[in-house]
Structure 1
Amino acid sequence: MNFSAALSQYYGEYLILTLIVLAGLPITGLLGVILNWKLSLSYNQKSVSKKVRGKHCLVTGASQGLGKATAIELVKAGAHVTIIARGKKDPKTGISSLDSVVKELELSKVNPDQIIQFFAVDLTVYDKVVEMFEKLFEQGHNPEFLFCNAGSATPGLFIDQLPVQNKEKYEEGEHEWMMKSNYFTHVNVIRALLQVARKGESTEEDSICGISSKIAIKLPKSIILVGSVLSTLSFVGFSAYSASKYAIRGFADAMRSEMKPLGVHVGIYYPGNMATPGFEIENETKPKITAKIEGSSETVSAKSAAESLLAGFDRNLFYYSNDLLGELARVSVNGGNPRPYPVVEILATPLLATIFTVWAAITDMEIKSFYKK
């Protein structure tokens, strides 16, 4: 029997085998993505401690929620920690909310020599952020690890978040505020750090990306920006919030590329919903259709989210999420950035394209059905 005859005889079997392989590869890839995601979020406090013990860490937005939980874990790992937030004062006692956070951090110290301090700063005001870094550098506490977490969420329909006219003058709407409180609180911290680090220094011939070696040694070893699952996808009710989180993602893409030659690792973390005071406030303005699309997805504790953040930080991941949908979306929108698990992510791509096509169709149907009723 010649080859063509054999091929003809077993054509059906070969076709079925080929289809099984073609279908199986994306499924294998997806399972590999999920397995690697699970493993990458396993928190190893000893490993994190080796990295940060005795080092200065700066955490923004640390008065509550994820920022506070991250600061606590860093203190437990033996780091010196500076926390930043607006630090609202109690009108009755005059005590800043950051005072109580610092007292809580003090209880988590593993070494009496650990330095715990706070600065009450509005990170949307650039001059104030520069002043804060000048004080830090004077103390010799310029951060070796930087965690940019400050931000807030105010969901709402676009029409309900327009600028408000007041005495023939329009006051800013939620879109302006979301960019200030989410995007610029990240950008201001990093550019103020660079502003102070380069003070009095001139550009040298050995500069990399415009930064001289004298300035480079003052920079953090790692910068973690906190985005959101809504940095990768969005839907009704999140036009203001999601846009600001997308902006952080674009900023992180450029910063990763620009800081890499200097030996500075940049990462962006996409947390899912967390059981925090901020999430409770977010739900107060959340449209019903937005809540319906979100569904009854479980929230995680701030401590759990902080451990996932530090697990990715410890492994020097770039894009990462503690939420399965966030991780799958991360793989889908990775763009021109390095993939941590390229083989399985490439294999999973056709299946992920199908999953998110179906997700988009279901979401559109839910919105249409909601408003039809």
Structure 2
Amino acid sequence: MLLLLCATLFVFLIFLYVLSPRLPPRPVSLNGAHVVVTGGSSGIGKAIAIECVKRGAFITLVARNEQKLFDAKKEVEQHFMNEKQVVQCISLDVSKDFGQVKSVMKQAQEKLGPVDMLVNCAGISVSARFEDIKPEEFRRIMEVNYLGSVYSTMAVIPTMKERRHGRIVFVSSQAGQLGLFGYSAYSASKFALRGLSEALQMEVKPYNIYITVAYPPDTDTPGYQEELKSMRRRRPRARRRRPSCLLASSRWLLRVQHGRHLVPGSRRRDIEPWASSPAANLAVELVRPELS
């Protein structure tokens, strides 16, 4: 009888061990939480900040442009749920110097408390054929899109480990899942975020820290409009309406709170087929002269 009981207990423990990676963590409440958003002055970053504020969070917005930060702060504050909430702005290029990023994150935590959630949204893009992209553009894209996220994450991880609590979001792109013509620099930087997030999740999961990587499609943001301007030798074409930032961020946030690792791009009907995407249009326009 005792042997049967021990065998049953052993099988039960093995079952729990096998099942444990599939068990979701306890959802994180954002009421009173401190959320840091890099690239928070516009686009998806600002939209995420607004969604977090609606759930009672305290916000630190980090971006380079002081005027855009000030404008974003006023817009985010309009969605306060209570008068105790605070939005603070810090002007900083997160891709330049880790020491400065670390100092700024320490300053933010001294005012609003330890960081509960970090959202890495800072990013830039250039669309052109590989040989038309300058070496300095490759370097700059990797610095902003990849190293900017690395530096910000390195600055908050120690405190999160001490508290055994935290959520970190990396905003990749659908170009971080599939390489696209004309996006050799951009896709490489977004693929790097994917590898970073997958490896880092293995390291920090024992500390109750969960990593989420998002793969948004082309979204109606100021950055996307700049991306269109950078497409060289491309003929103007009619375009379908892109998903809004607020729509994208509201879908993401619940998955982040529940510790889900993956946020897929969007619903199928919101995503324009690749055959009519900017990358495909650019490919046709660049290759056509060489074939004729």
Q: Same fold (TM over 0.5)?
A: yes
Q: CA deviation at 1:369?
A: 5.3
* Aligned match of 1:372: 291
Q: How many matched pairs?
A: 259
CA distance in structure 2 between the aligned counterparts of 1:75 and 1:322, rounded to whole angstroms: 23
The structure that has the greater radius of gyration is 1
Q: Output aligned runs, 1:184-263, within 5 Å.
A: 184-194=147-157, 197=159, 216-218=161-163, 220-263=165-208
Measure the CA separation in 1 of the matches of 2:40 and 2:62.
6
Partner of 1:63: 41
CA contact under 8 A between 1:71 and 1:105: conserved in structure 2?
yes
Partner of 2:21: none
* Match of residue 142, structure 1, among 114, 127, 144: 114
Structure 1 stretches lacking a partner, 5+ long: 1-47, 89-95, 164-172, 198-214, 329-355, 357-361
Which residue identity lines up with residue 53 of structure 2 in the other structure?
V
Equivalent pair of 1:54/1:78 in contact (CA under 8 Å): yes
- Provide the residue aligned with 1:162 in structure 2: 134
Q: After superposition, what is the alpha-carbon deviation per residue over 1:338-359, rounded to whole angstroms, capped at 9, x for unaligned?
A: xxxxxxxxxxxxxxxxxx9xxx
Q: Percent identity?
A: 27
| 1:103 aligned partner | 74
Distance (Å, rounded) in 2 between the aligned partners of 1:113 and 1:269: 30
- Secondary structure of 2:29's aligned partner: helix
Structure 1 residues 287 and 319, CA, compared in 2 at 3 Å: closer, same or farther? farther
The within-5 A match list for 1:1-373 is 51-88=29-66, 96-124=67-95, 125-139=97-111, 141-163=113-135, 173-194=136-157, 197=159, 216-218=161-163, 220-287=165-232, 296=239, 298-324=241-267, 371-373=290-292
Q: CA deviation at 1:87?
A: 2.4
CA RMSD, 1 decimal: 3.1
> Using the alignment, how far apart are the partners of 2:44 and 2:109 within structure 1?
26
| Distance in 2 separating the partners of 1:233 and 1:297 | 21
**AA paired with 1:121?**
L
Which amino acid in 1 is paired with 2:93? D
1:68/1:187 CA distance change after superposition, 3 Å: same
Q: CA deviation at 1:290?
A: 10
Aligned residue identity for 1:258? E
TM-score by length of 1: 0.63
* Maintained 8 Å contact 2:165/2:207: no
CA contact (8 A) 1:255 1:266 kept: yes
Q: Give the gaps of 5 or more residues in structure 2.
A: 1-26, 275-279
